[in-house]
A and B are shown apart, each in its own frame.
Chain A
Amino acid sequence: MEQIVNLLINGLATGMLIFLLAAGLTLIFGLMDVLNFAHGGFFAWGAYSGIWFYGVTGQYVLAILFAMFVGLVLGALTEKLIIKPVYGNHIQQILITLGFMLVLSELLKVIWGPNQLPAHAPEWLSGSWLIGDIIIIKYRVFIIVVGLIAFFTIHFILKKTRIGLIVRAGVMNKEMVEAMGIHIQKIFMLVFMVGASLAALSGLLLAPYSGVIYAEMGMDFAILAFIVVVIGGMGSFTGSLLAAILVGLSGSFMAYYVSELSIAVNMLLMILVLIFRPQGLFYGKG
């Protein structure tokens, strides 16, 4: 019982981290057909800038906001300078964003050095609760809560606001939104910035969870995020949450029970989805 609860919480926490990364990717792809392989770079930058800020000020909540702000700025710059010139050309997008990903992680080494850095959760998030005889680690619950807050906030924006309506419509048919006289370009820039910001948030949240940060940390998670985008359905926001939880849970349970398969299982999930439902599990369902 204790084991199962812990694996569950572990899986959910990992799932939330992947979701925060995948949410931006899926909307960026759904809205403008842009493949962004530099997304993991925002993730690593969020971790480094947030941990640095936390080290300087000692304020973890402020550090989260700072990391998200860094994500917003990086997102804006990337969209303007890197993505905009290669609209509509997937090959160029892959090449330039992969290259930019390398630039982002090398820049981290220039600023903070090439070695791994330690990262700790603040006092109030360290330790654990004892419920019955089950030990629940506080920080993991914290990740789940932050992930859910992010999900419901964006879900609300998508469903209830004007900008959200434009984004949802744009994912379905971007040309038609333009035919209505709406500059989808501006909306896309905004979505890209928010996506980058969520990726940065995810990176910072992961840092104390894994205990160390390193410049290439974005790569591993970005691959998981891409898997989630495929499983959930390109452009489906809710789909990316459900698929991320699926990937997180299957990863954590497999790692415990059939550890040889723990990496392969995500790929297998993706292959199954591609064979039987190539549009993704939740395609077209918001």
Chain B
Amino acid sequence: MEPILETKNLTVQFGSHIAVNNVNFMVYEKQFKSIIGPNGAGKTTLFNLLGGQLKATSGKIYFRKEDITSLSSVKRTRKGIGRSFQMTNVFPNLTVFENVRLAVQSRMNIRYPFFKHFSHYTEVNEKTYEILELVLLKEKQSVLAKQLSHGEQRKLEIAMLLALDTEVLLLDEPTAGMSMEEVPAILSVIQNVKKEGNRTIVLIEHKMDLIMNLSDAVTVLFNGQFLADGTPEEIMENETVQNAYLGGLYNGSPS
């Protein structure tokens, strides 16, 4: 099987600091893959490279075997790579409904020729309702996004990402900054998405139980380098990983 998204010797350097160092990362179609690693391991930087928010210093990124290393983030989204951000990213002064509708109409605009889409107005609205239901936000549709709780904003962000209907979803710590009570809701949203089974999902997370429950495979990064890759069970038992996380003695040369 060919990977849907793959990096080859991907490196990015800020001054003398190498944030992502020669990373070979791959994810297969419809796989649920998590990326873990301590703070500063380069997880979000890797996402920025995959999503096109950052340009690589060297190395290549392939999407369905096509070299996308030099494509802009707009073009990557249009090809089918959507991402969420660690910081919540919604439009504060638009309603929940409008936020999602914007993403839905953007997607339809890509699918249909420019002017034809005016006849699809109801279709846009229906699709918007559908997604709001999936992320459990239907009751909040006419509320301004800035009035939502943090957890609800993260759900809204995922809704917008889903609305873009990309094949690959890059989720950057969807539970970041959430209270314990809010985590189960976001978890069930992610489970809903996974259950639909038509998307490739890459997740950055710190909550181990969440990762172990959801993931088909886990990649571990440490100090910007690739450390290990395997099923959740393999990763749990991997000694290097345990040292990296627990001992802190790891000296940076991959085994």
> In the complex the two chains form, is B73's CB within 8 Å of A165's CB?
no
- B106 engages A180 (CB within 8 Å): yes
| Chain B residue nearest in CB terms to A182 | B106
Within 8 A of A (CB), among B73-104: 73-74, 77-78, 83, 89, 91-94, 98-99, 101-103
B89 and A166 within 8 A (CB): no
A169-B91, A173-B89, A173-B91 as given contacts; A181 in contact with B164, CB under 8 Å: yes
Known: A165-B101, A179-B73, A181-B74. A284 touches B93 (CB 8 A): yes
Whether A172 and B74, one on each chain, are in contact in the complex, defined by CB atoms closer than 8 angstroms, is no
Do A168 and B106 touch across chains, with their CB atoms under 8 A apart? no
Interface 1/0s, chain A 171-195, versus B by CB < 8 A?
0110011111111000000000000
Known interface pairs A162-B105, A165-B105, A166-B102; A180-B77 also in contact (CB < 8 Å):
yes
For residues 39 through 87 of chain B, which have their beta carbon under 8 Å from a beta carbon of chain A? 51, 73-74, 77-78, 83
Contact yes or no, B98 A165, CB < 8 A: yes
The answer to the question of A138 belonging to the interface, with a C-beta cut-off of 8 Å to chain B, is no
Contacts of B78 in A (CB 8 A): 181
Chain A proximity of B108: nearest CB distance (Å)? 9
Q: Evaluate contact between A182 and B94: CB separation under 8 angstroms.
A: no
B94 close to A180 (CB less than 8 A):
no
What is the distance, in angstroms, from A263's C-beta to the closest C-beta of chain B?
A: 35
**Bound Cα distance from A286 to B98, whole angstroms:** 13
B94 touches which one: A162, A165, A179, A183 (CB < 8 A)? A165
* Bound complex: CA A186 to CA B137 (Å): 32
Task: Tell whether B35 is near chain A: CB-to-CB under 8 Å.
Answer: no
| A90 touches B (CB below 8 Å) | no
Number of B residues, CB within 8 Å of A:
26
- Let me know if B142 is at the binding interface, CB within 8 A: no
- Does the CB pair B93–A165 fall under 8 Å? no
Chain B residues near A173: list those with CB within 8 A: 89, 91
Q: Which residue of B is nearest A185, CB measured?
A: B74
Closest beta carbon of chain B to A274's beta carbon, Å: 22
Chain B, 142-192, CB within 8 A of any chain A CB: 160, 164
Residues of B with Cβ closer than 8 Å to A?
51, 73-74, 77-78, 83, 89, 91-94, 98-99, 101-103, 105-107, 109-110, 117-118, 124, 160, 164
Question: How many Å lie between the Cα of A181 and that of B89 in the bound state?
Answer: 15
Number of interface residues of A (CB under 8 A): 18
Residues of chain A at the chain B interface (Cβ within 8 Å): 162, 165-166, 168-169, 172-173, 176-183, 284-286
Given contacts A172-B93, A285-B93, contact A181 B102 (CB under 8 A): no
Which chain A positions have C-beta within 8 A of B83? 179
CB distance from A251 to the nearest CB of B (A): 30
By beta carbon, the residue of chain B nearest A184 is B74
A to B CB contacts below 8 Å, 18 in the list: A162-B117, A165-B94, A165-B98, A165-B105, A168-B93, A169-B91, A169-B99, A173-B89, A176-B89, A179-B77, A180-B77, A181-B77, A181-B106, A181-B107, A181-B164, A182-B74, A182-B106, A183-B74
Closest-by-CB residue of A relative to B117 is: A162
Q: Are A165 and B74 in contact (CB under 8 A)?
A: no
Q: In the assembled complex, how far is the CB of residue B113 from the closest CB belonging to chain A, in whole angstroms?
A: 14
Residues of A within 8 A of B98 (CB): 165, 168-169
In the bound complex, do residue A180 and residue B160 qualify as a contact, i.e. CB atoms below 8 Å apart?
Answer: yes
Chain A contacts for B117, CB-based, 8 A: 162
Tell me the minimal C-beta distance from A112 to chain B in angstroms: 38
Neighbour of B102 across the interface among A165, A178, A285, CB < 8 A: A165
Contacts of B74 in A (CB 8 A): 178-179, 181-183
CB distance from B55 to the nearest CB of A (A): 15
Nearest-CB residue, chain B, relative to A176: B89
What is the bound-complex CA distance between A286 and B95, given in angstroms?
A: 12
Q: Can you name the residue of chain A whose Cβ is closest to the Cβ of B145?
A: A172
Closest to B83 in A: A179
- Bound complex: CA of A168 vs CA of B124, how far in Å? 18
Given contacts A165-B101, A166-B102, A181-B106, contact A172 B77 (CB under 8 A): no
Name the CB-closest residue of A to B105.
Answer: A162
Chain B residue at smallest Cβ distance from A159: B98
Assuming A165-B94, A176-B91, what are 15 further A-B pairs, CB within 8 angstroms? A162-B109, A162-B117, A165-B98, A172-B91, A172-B93, A173-B89, A176-B89, A177-B102, A180-B77, A180-B106, A180-B160, A181-B77, A181-B107, A181-B110, A285-B93
B107 to chain A, nearest CB (A): 8
Which of A165, A166, A177, A180 counts the most chain B CB atoms within 10 A?
Answer: A180
